[in-house]
Chains A and B, each alone.
Chain A
């Protein structure tokens, strides 16, 4: 068998960075690091798209460049439109360095979002409820359910803002939604579960995002998230209507998108296979 996987060397200038950026996740397309921003006292996220040696070099540069620019453009546009996403701090679509001199991939430095991923929040909440829900009285139970409903409504509203700004995410899951921790001084909510659902909903990972105002693309965005919630958070799924509700109230175009969503639900996203 092959050797242990080693991530490729960081592109310049991050081979200089002191201390070295810390690798957080390695997806198929990109590696995500935590580092500092241009201000040493503020953290930043660094996304590196290393070159893919299996591809023809011309094709590789073209794709890597297109994609990192597309991602940065979407983020930058959303920041201007006031949608909560990590802002672009710096970018290089033809990064140098890497394993060999020359082309080493592209990188994007982004604002660091301090807070948990919604997937983890819901997983923790569901795990607690599974174990302890029977110990809650009716009022407490209602209180818990309404916290999840509120979270889903806020998610729906944020997605509405995203779509209104003319961007579709392309890969919506609860792993790509975060809750930005409230600044100090905010009164924290109390729940027997110990799981906070406070904080501004922030959308992350725009690696598959594109600019589109078409109902079909928007509806598929919602459908993909709906499916993801259904498969990973069964206890939260019954509250999906709250997400739709929050979305509907967010902008005028929502009505026709939601109508399209019904069609997408009916047919699913996949075609049937012809031999």
Chain B
């Protein structure tokens, strides 16, 4: 199936840096992908994120931006900008813990993949082609509606220690629901921005 790879527009980044994102459901080969990461296979240098730990586009984008900003300022805490993206999703300062909580696991079914064009040969086409042959799953649109079906909100709240916040419950409850989700999302962004302060 055709990949729905998206080039993420962040207008604050240098034009030479492009960010590509793809969201997959029903992934069949998570264990293989994880193994490639662990073995340090350069071909597979991606941020492979457990999409159930992503609340929204804004949540993912905040982590991506933070990681790239730390990358361009030469202060990565982890190996490369892709591992840094996974690390940046975590409010805590522990890299191994970030991978356990936000990174791909053998059992991952919903997967968010991010690639930053850190060298000129990384292009939309090169990423799309590689992902198409590497990820066995359904490529879906990276949007809030899809994510809302995937996100494990109670677990996200727990990891961010935001248990006291109102929960964006079922969808029948209109505005209240939207407000709760908005407050949770903004709380995540604050935590991501402030990590390590």
Contacts and interface: CB of A to CB of B under 8 A. Distances in A.
A, B: real partners: yes
Given A38-B58, A76-B187, A91 B193 contact: yes
Interface string B66-77: 100100110000
B183 A17 contact: no
A17 B12 contact: yes
A92 B70 CA distance: 9
From B13, B61, B162, B194, name the one whose CB has the most chain A CB atoms within 10 angstroms: B194
Nearest to A21: B12
A185 B195 CA distance: 38
The DSSP consensus for interface residues of chain B is helix
Contact-residue size bin, chain B (C-beta under 8 Å from the other chain):
20 to 34
Interface stretch (A79-87, A134-142, A247-255): A79-87
Nearest to A38: B61
B162 A80 contact: yes
The DSSP consensus for interface residues of chain A is mixed
A12 B9 CA distance: 17
Interface stretch (A51-59, A67-75, A151-159, A160-168): A67-75
A89 B12 contact: no
A176 interface: no
Nearest to B191: A76
Contact of B190 (A13, A35, A87, A94): A87
B187 A80 contact: yes
Contacts of A69: 194, 197
A93 B164 CA distance: 28
Interface of B: 9-15, 57-58, 61-62, 65-66, 69, 72-73, 162, 164-165, 183, 186-187, 189-191, 193-194, 197
